[in-house]
Structure 1
Amino acid sequence: MTRRLISSGSTFEQEIGYSRAVVEGDWVFVSGTTGFDYSKMTISDDLLEQTEQCFRNIGAALDEAGASMRDIVRVTYILPEAANFPKCWPVFRKYLGDVRPAAMMLAAGLSDPRMRIEIQVTARRGSGA
């Protein structure tokens, strides 16, 4: 198997030393993804806008890997404030409601105080219905 690295172009990837996603066989491991718009290196103050941007960023990485949201088998949500988790549910449902991957939510501090959510996914290419 050939390991392939995918970059979003984020300066964080180069500075920290990680990839947006790693493709290993049919598996796609997408790093914790925040609501930064990497084309502008900006981030909204709004939690739901950040959540939408997370999924756009994840979708772009999956697309480059030859996968889609339908291939997601596991998702981890990380929010600095656990009380905000239910506010995100409609956005989660929009992207993953029919996919229904195994899921976990953690409340933890994130590396930048502007970040209000981070989402990590694992996908298996071709597994989506």
Structure 2
Amino acid sequence: MRILFRLVAAVATVLVGQTAVAEPLTLIIARAVAVPDSVSGQAMLSLKLTPDSGKAFARFTGANVGNIVDLSINGAVVTSPRIAEPIRGGEIMVSGTFKPGEVERIAERISAGDAKVEVDVKSE
């Protein structure tokens, strides 16, 4: 009995000491538009999530504070930020170095339902 208790306690200690790792999360986008960045003037991608997807994204970011995550569109990583705090509110602003017209094309594909948007913890 005592050996079993020690084994259970050892397993519990190992599990508690591990960092939470999440599965990739597919985001359901209610609206995708290109908007100008007020500082740089370059186009940014504004993604408005559905209510359920926004809640799932808030849980995902809450579980991964401090981790770097990849935001992918059709399997191509577009940005890899480090999560500083849970992202609530259901809206994501994606900035970066895009080719002219690329943000607009991405927004159109997402709006048409032709693009898969996912977030995943980046393997470091």
Same fold (TM over 0.5): no
Report the TM-score when normalising by structure 2.
0.32
Q: Which has the larger radius of gyration?
A: 2
